[in-house]
Amino acid sequence: MPDEEAARPFPLADGPLVRALLITVDDRDRVFVLAIHHAVTDNWSYGALLGELAVAYDAFAVVRTDLGGDPSFRELTVRCGKECLRRRPTMPSRCSR
């Protein structure tokens, strides 16, 4: 099933261009499938998203194992607005309007 979801085409005209699916394998195991069209992300953003998902998974896995407490997340080091301002000088002139 994960392979079929990953191979399913994206309807570009009306979306969605991001799909998430959680598949229950058995009482303990799940498979998370995340399909993202390349038009809505870049390599840096994709890496940041996967990093944040890994942190969230680890935090929730510890809470589930310890049976208590809230998962803690580290403070984001880069904000979208700051990253856009940093990259703006390298963008073509039509993008900076």
Q: Same domain, yes or no, for 32 and 55?
A: no
Q: How confident is the model at residue 94 (pLDDT cuts 50, 70, 90)?
A: low
Model confidence pLDDT, tens digit, residues 30-64:
888 888 998 888 888 888 888 888 888 887 776 66
Higher pLDDT, 17 or 60: 17
Q: Same domain, yes or no, for 79 and 68?
A: yes
Q: Is the peptide bond before 16 cis (omega within 30 degrees of 0)?
A: yes
Q: Report pTM.
A: 0.58
Model pLDDT, residue 71: 58
Range of the domain at 86: 41-97
Q: Same domain, yes or no, for 30 and 9?
A: yes
Q: Same domain, yes or no, for 48 and 30?
A: no
Number of domains in the chain: 2
Q: Same domain, yes or no, for 32 and 78?
A: no
Q: Same domain, yes or no, for 51 and 62?
A: yes
Q: Same domain, yes or no, for 49 and 90?
A: yes
